[in-house]
A and B are shown apart, each in its own frame.
Chain A
């Protein structure tokens, strides 16, 4: 079945640095991908919708300059957390609809820890 990968699976970085997270659809093309974050013991929160070839659509309250999203190809979307702070520590997960059905596939997630 369709698979979505994320890289890295875990990352630890220092405050002030930037971290890039990749989301790839492995055997299908995804014109749209979704980025979520999850705080401990909380539900997922949709951050933005990544659109291939155009600007991402951000949810209310999500800082566009803080969380840069680039959907450079039909199989790759990247989320860059810029000037990371400890409060950015979270679990980030992406998902992609296959486009041919109503199925949605999720990446395994990236655990970001900012020290």
Chain B
């Protein structure tokens, strides 16, 4: 079963705009990870945020984690057409990982 739930399921924006994707989960976690997947390809790890962290940056990516609300967000700033992909959050509960169904991001040039 899918632990994380991404929101929205699909997002379409213009190049240069910011894209925000959200993820909610149900149980306690050790860390939360965000992955991207280009169509027909495997997952690529983007960023990991630990349960005791609230925000993390990596280039144009910004991830926040609110353990009280059991939610996380992924912000991609100044989006590019090459950012078009599916984005997944995954919760690490120590023994297993659980993935959401993903958000499909389309960035129009």
Please list the residues of chain A having a beta carbon within 8 angstroms of any beta carbon in chain B.
Answer: 1, 32, 34, 36, 38, 41, 43-44, 46, 49, 59, 91, 93, 95, 97, 101-106, 108-109, 111
Contact = CB atoms under 8 A, between A and B. Distances in A.
14 contacts: A34-B43, A38-B97, A41-B31, A43-B33, A44-B97, A46-B42, A49-B42, A103-B86, A104-B37, A104-B101, A105-B101, A106-B2, A109-B97, A111-B96
Interface of B: 1-2, 30-31, 33, 35, 37, 39-40, 42-45, 48, 86, 88, 90, 92, 95-99, 101-102, 104
A38 B98 CA distance: 12
B43 A36 contact: yes
A6 to B, nearest CB: 11
A97 B40 contact: yes
Nearest to A59: B42
A34 B101 contact: no
B53 to A, nearest CB: 14
Nearest to B102: A104
B96 A91 contact: yes
Contacts of A101: 104
Contacts of A105: 2, 101
